[in-house]
Amino acid sequence: MLYYCYSIDILMYNNKISIKMRTKLFSLAIIFLAFFSHSIKGQEKFVFPELPYSYDALESFIDKTTMEIHYSRHHKAYYNNFVKTLNECDSGDKSIEDLFANVSKHVVSIRNNGGGYYNHNLFWEIMSPDGGGVPKGELLKAIEKAFGSFEEFKNKFESAAKTQFGSGWAWLALDWEGNLFVSSTLNQDNPLMDVAEKRGTPILGLDVWEHAYYLHYQNKRGDYVSNFWKVVNWKAVEENYKDALRKIK
């Protein structure tokens, strides 16, 4: 696109074309702009996020190679396929929450690739090399209200992550009544989707697909799940909690 605009500009600058021709070229440029801005709508709206740390930053939980492959290949592929589907289906003007709320009515790529895109965005964001410890403030209060104690919540979450059969995710999410719950979903589903058994806004998620841990942990998913707590960014989870709460009020 830039190439077309640039070429026209050079021609005009050299004053080698008539006013009439200039008007025609200008109109053509506008048509091209309209066409391209339409076709990249999904891509403009949904960006591929930067990883907020280096590939080796979370090595107490996950090794550098796994992190690199997970982010730059798996996540990137979900993103590319999601944007491609949006452009083909002309669904670029809907929010991702709207798409998920009716995911059963959309092509399956929205569920799989849109889910993969959204879930990994959340996953990277709720981890940090400075993570670990315990949640504080309003989030801690809400966890204690829902599960009795932080330890009880951890047990419930670990159990959901370990017993999810095959590929999927474990979640801490806020339901529409403002209560926290733990759940697990298959593949790239999440609690925002109308296909989920228990619905709400996810505020913390753990990827339990083998691609997330197999190089380092092999079949020991339990060890992977236990080590997750070392890197959880509770500040980010609390922000997600507050955002989710604001949306239902």
Closer of 180 and 212 to Mn ion (Cβ):
212
Q: Under DSSP, is residue 208 helix (H, G, I), strand (E, B) or coil?
A: coil
Q: With CB under 5 A, what is the number of residues at the site for Mn ion? A: 3
Residues 230 and 61: beta-carbon distance below 8 Å: yes
Q: How far is the CB of 205 from Mn ion (least distance, A)?
A: 10
Residues in the chain: 249
Closer of 207 and 238 to Mn ion (Cβ):
207
Q: How far is the CB of 232 from Mn ion (least distance, A)?
A: 17
Q: What is the DSSP letter of 232?
A: B
Using the rule CB under 5 A, give the single segment among 37-45, 57-65, 102-110, 208-216 that binds Mn ion.
208-216
Using the rule CB under 5 A, give the single segment among 23-31, 41-49, 103-111, 211-219 that binds Mn ion.
211-219
Using the rule CB under 5 A, give the single segment among 11-19, 162-170, 200-208, 224-232 that binds Mn ion.
200-208
Closer of 144 and 210 to Mn ion (Cβ):
210
Q: How far is the CB of 122 from Mn ion (least distance, A)?
A: 11
Q: Is 207 in the site for Mn ion (CB under 5 A)?
A: yes
Nearest to 7 by CA among 23, 27, 29: 29
Q: How far is the CB of 221 from Mn ion (least distance, A)?
A: 13
Q: How far is the CB of 167 from Mn ion (least distance, A)?
A: 9
DSSP character string of 97-164: HHHHHTGGGS-HHIIIIIHHHHHHHHHHHTB-TT--S---HHHHHHHHHHHSSHHHHHHHHHHHHHHS
Nearest to 196 by CA among 118, 139, 120, 115: 115
CA-CA-CA-CA dihedral for 210, 215, 220, 226, to nearest 10: -90
- Crossing angle between the packed helical segments 115-125 and 76-89, to the nearest 10 degrees: 140
Closer of 203 and 212 to Mn ion (Cβ):
212
The site for Mn ion (CB under 5 A) is made up of 207, 209, 212
